[in-house]
Amino acid sequence: MFKLDARILLGTVAVWGALGFLCRFFTPETPLGARWGQWAFWLVFLLLLVSLRPIAAFLRGLPRAHAVILASVFTLLLGAQLLDRSSDTFPFVSWRMFSSPAPASVGPMAFYECYGRTESGDRVRLNPPRLVPPLKNYRMTVGLMQQVDGALAARRPDSDAGRRLSRTLRAVGKIYNRENPPTPIRAVEVFRCQMDPRDPGTRRSPYRWLVWSAEISGEGSP
Amino acid sequence: MRLLHENAAPETVTVVRKWVFGLWLCKTATEPLHLLAELPAEAFVALGVWKLLPAPVWQALHSAAFLTTIRVATVLCLACVLLGRLPRLSAVAACVLLTFSQAYVRSFGYINHAELPLLYAAYVLTLFQIADRRAVPEANLSGAPLTTIAALLLFTYALTASFRLSAGGLDAFRADTLIVWTLYDAHFTTYYRWTLGRDILDYPVLVEALKVGFPFVTLVELMAPLGLVSRAVRFTFLAVMIPFHLATLFLMNILFWENLALFPLLLDLDPWCRRFFGRLRAERSTSSSRAGRSANSPGGPRPPAGTGGSS
């Protein structure tokens, strides 16, 4: 079942050790547990994997060029995880999902919704990720949420964050109008919604209040 | 114990190459990348190697004309790969262009994972194709890219699980963690519009299934790389992760269809591909021998009058 090859084992330890050493300097903000816990786990796991007979035989049989490709790709993949600086190491990134701290138990929660206001004052619900499909998979959802949070924190519509949010909302509104010529909207509004999922009443109709509005042909305001 | 794709035939690699680059072609051709130019340029922050570009250059790239050019060039390169025209050059160009567009769409606030394993698959197929020119001819290497892609895919799951365990520890599995995530994700405005997750508290069975299932899913993710040598681990992985991906779609509006599209690589495709190509070759040789016989027979096709033929 196992086949120990000193060259492969030493190579794995050397590369993984070097990556661990580099992380000390480049990712001081990553929690120590996350960094060293992963480092130790992957050292053991990688040594186990490369000691398995079929994998060891595969690695030994690879020509030099193929071995270099394999080593490079996996060093980049694992190194990016350990470095945890996805914006620098893209397209190799830190893989995390359902790992950031969530509230301990179900309770009141808040989120944003986007609406378009028509000439007659009616409101239509907007779905920005549907209007800009390349930003699906939460790219638009999270990006817009960050912009709203940033603009509200700045508290002024003429702040950089406020101007950026208004321009984004205006762009979303223009795309909507192009796709829906019969029902054009005049402004895009952001509502903060609050509800308690344990209470069926607020779950069906959350409390909503307007936090930002951007006229499609003008300036935005909180 | 046998390594996945150990003895894969070159035809199997060809099928996978067409599948991976074909998926990218469909995705690139149907996604209106130019729409990003309508959003404010300052909302986009350069990622990876694109950070090396001076800020004014990065801002200047933010135009519908440039993004349309990138999209058209990518489609052309991918089509060349699929048609076998300048295969190495077009594959390298396609990978560079795909990396740019994938970096660009992630420059707007959030670096997610969805398409990355499919991008890595394109890199691996391209790099091995270039390296194959220098390889020893008698070495049986054709399975190496497929093994590498399968390994990368499985490693991404194990990395996710290892981060969850090392960063969150047992806190990540507190009773309500996944329920809270489900409620948030189901209420956000997202591309997919399933609302089942909003009412999850009305389904106690579903709540319990999520609570119990989350540590189990994490364990399966963590052990995923062992699937390279174990059929049982591979099949357990598929049996758990396919329903998990569907559950995240219906409950949280999160879909990694690109990962699901790569799951067939965790099966031993080789016998099927060999059988299919064997049958194709047999049919071709039968039809060509039939054509040869009919051309030699007295009643066979003759050249039109005045176009030659022996007198």
DSSP string, B209-264: HHHHHHHHHHHHHHHGGGGGT-HHHHHHHHHHHHHHHHHHHHHH----HHHHHHGG
> Across the interface, do A77 and B152 touch by the CB < 8 Å criterion?
yes
Asked whether the predicted pLDDT for residue B169 surpasses 90, the reply is no
Q: Looking at the 3D structure of chain B, how many domains does it have? A: 2
Distance CA B238, CA B157 (A): 12
Residue extents of the structural domains in chain A: 6-89, 109-221
Q: How far is CA B212 from CA A201, B39, B193, B219, B242, in A?
A: 28, 42, 26, 12, 17
User: For residue A9, what are its two tokens?
Assistant: 């084992």
Distance CA A179, CA A170 (A): 14
**B245 and B126 both lie in a single domain:** no
Asked whether the predicted pLDDT for residue B298 surpasses 60, the reply is no
Asked if omega into A91 is within 30° of 0 (cis), the reply is: yes
The answer to whether residue B120 is domain-embedded is yes
Distance CA B105, CA A90 (A): 12
Domain residue limits at B170: 154-272
pLDDT at A158: 85
The answer to whether residue B242 is domain-embedded is yes
CB burial string A3-27: b at 16+ within 10 A, e below: eeeeebeeebeebbeebbeebeeeb
User: For residue B224, what are its two tokens?
Assistant: 């995923």
Do the beta carbons of residue B186 and residue A203 sit within 8 Å? no
Give the pTM: 0.91
Residue window 6-35, chain B: list those with CB within 8 Å of chain A. 6, 31-33, 35
DSSP conformational letter for B297: S
What are the chain B neighbours of A54 within 8 Å (beta carbons)? 1-3, 6, 228-229
The answer to whether residue B138 is domain-embedded is no
B144 interface with A at CB cutoff 8 Å:
yes
**B202 and B266 both lie in a single domain:** yes
Residue B109's region, left for phi above 0, alpha for psi from -120 to 50, else beta, is left
User: Which tens digit of pLDDT belongs to each residue from B21-75?
Assistant: 999 999 999 999 999 999 999 999 999 888 888 988 888 899 999 999 999 999 9
Do the beta carbons of residue A86 and residue A30 sit within 8 Å? no
Distance CA B112, CA B272 (A): 34
The answer to whether residue B294 is domain-embedded is no
**B174 and B234 both lie in a single domain:** yes
Digit-by-digit pLDDT tens for chain A (222 residues) are: 888 888 889 999 998 888 888 877 776 666 666 678 888 999 999 999 999 999 999 999 899 899 999 999 999 999 999 888 899 999 999 998 887 766 667 889 999 999 999 999 999 999 999 999 999 989 999 999 999 999 999 988 789 999 999 999 999 999 999 999 988 999 999 999 999 999 888 888 899 999 999 999 855 555
The answer to whether residue B19 is domain-embedded is yes
Q: What is the mean pLDDT of chain B?
A: 89
**B52 and B105 both lie in a single domain:** yes
Q: Where are the beta strands (DSSP E) in A150-206?
A: 185-195
DSSP conformational letter for A191: E
Asked whether the predicted pLDDT for residue B211 surpasses 70, the reply is yes
The label of the residue with tokens 């086949």 reads A3
**B163 and B244 both lie in a single domain:** yes
Gyration radius of chain B over CA positions: 25
DSSP conformational letter for B171: G
Cα angle value A130/A136/A139 (rounded, 5°): 125
Count CA atoms within 13 Å of residue B20 on its CB side: 31
**In terms of DSSP bridges, do strands A207-215 and A123-126 run parallel, antiparallel, or are they unpaired?**
unpaired
Element (H, E) at A221: strand A220-221
**B43 and B112 both lie in a single domain:** yes
Q: How far is CA B4 from CA A12, A54, B157, B232, B268, in A?
A: 21, 9, 17, 12, 7
**B16 and B124 both lie in a single domain:** yes
**B116 and B161 both lie in a single domain:** no
The answer to whether residue B222 is domain-embedded is yes
A65 interface with B at CB cutoff 8 Å:
yes
Nearest to B114 among A86, A96, A137 (CB): A137
What are the chain B neighbours of A52 within 8 Å (beta carbons)? 1, 229
The answer to whether residue B78 is domain-embedded is yes
Suggest the residue from A2, A46, A139, A177 to mutate for an interface test with chain B (most B CBs closer than 10 A): A139
- CA-based nearest residue in chain B for residue A172: B39
**B161 and B217 both lie in a single domain:** yes
